[in-house]
Structure 1
Amino acid sequence: MVYLFYTLVMLQIGFKFSVRAIQEATTDPITPTKEDDGGLGQSPSEWKVKMLYDGDCPLCMREVNMLKERNKNYNSIKFVDISSVDYSPEDNQGLDYKTAMGKIHAIMSDGTVVTNVEAFRKLYEAVDLGWVYAITKYEPVATIADAVYGVWAKYRLPITGRPPLEEVLEARKKKDETCNDSKSCRM
């Protein structure tokens, strides 16, 4: 989130920055599984919150990797890579790829879907880091935080050096048509 805040501040005041720094972010390789419990072997009754994340986003993966590492001690977050060939909206409250790409979504164990900064709050609370986002529960900070996140969500793809969502969706559609449900085919 610190990277996100810095990036958005730079956009607001008109600075241009190199995407190279973002591309140098260390990420875990994309795995072909739709749900990633971080090797913890979680059953549905064990996790408190399911995080839907874009495994193709290098900046997003910094936060995901930190949460995965922290989750080893809590076993409370289930990680789902929406960019996986196996991603299933049916397993994730009907959230299709396009919707999930628009902003962060988390699914509580009771099926409640939360988005935006509230999703981050729930995720961080699940690994005993709730204090990081606690201030965002109160006005006017809540409104400001959601507005800042909204700008990030809108410009996330170009900031991380990726094509617009429409192009990503078209490439995904073409891949689906070419692969004909083959699990070995990747974008």
Structure 2
Amino acid sequence: MSPQVTVWFDSSCPLCLREIALMRRLDRRGAIHFVDACDPSGSCPIDRAELLSRFHAEEGGTLLSGAQAFAAMWRAIPLLRPLGLLAGWAPATPIFEAAYRRFLRIRPRLQRLFR
């Protein structure tokens, strides 16, 4: 199976590394292509600093960020697909995005904790 979703991740972030490791274990079908956004030789569809400031994924040729990118990644994994569908449902999307934005505010403290 060829990847359905491309996910860019921050390999300098201990939280990101843990989450991507889990997603790789769950992605038994190989539906996700994971790209290290910190690798200067890796593909980067937008400015690298912008790519690293929020979570990004590409699904069906569309670049997504934040909660929408997480929803795309989750939809590609059968176990998480229901959560991905819920997060992509228009009435629920603002709730997931608000939660993601709150997470971004505490991310630096969590990164220090997990180093």
Give yes or no for TM over 0.5. Answer: yes
Higher Cα Rg: structure 1 or 2?
1
Q: 2:63 aligns with which of 96, 99, 113?
A: 113
Write the distance in 1 (CA, Å) between the matches of 2:106 and 2:47. 20
Alignment RMSD (CA, Å):
2.1
Q: TM-score w.r.t. structure 1 length?
A: 0.53
Indicate the residue corresponding to 1:14 in structure 2.
Answer: none
- Greater strand fraction, Structure 1 or Structure 2: 2
**Residue in structure 2 matched with residue 8 of structure 1 by the alignment:** none
Deviation at 1:154, TM superposition (A): 4.1
TM-score, structure 2 normalization = 0.82
Unaligned stretches of 5+ in structure 2?
none
Quick one: higher RCO (CA 8 Å, sep 6+), 1 or 2? 2
Contact preservation (8 Å) 2:31, 2:76 = yes
Of the three residues 57, 78, 97, the one matched with 2:33 is 78
Where structure 1 has 5 or more consecutive residues not aligned to the other structure, the ranges are: 1-41, 163-187
Does 1:160 pair with 2:115? no
Partner of 1:122: 72
For the residue of structure 1 that corresponds to 2:112, the secondary structure is coil
CA distance in 2, matches of 1:96, 1:74: 30
Q: CA deviation at 1:52?
A: 0.4
Q: How many residues get paired?
A: 111
Matched, 1:143 2:94: yes
Which residue of 11, 14, 21 maps to 1:65?
21
Q: Is contact 2:35-2:43 (8 Å) kept?
A: no
Match of 2:43 in 1: 88
Q: CA deviation at 1:111?
A: 2.2
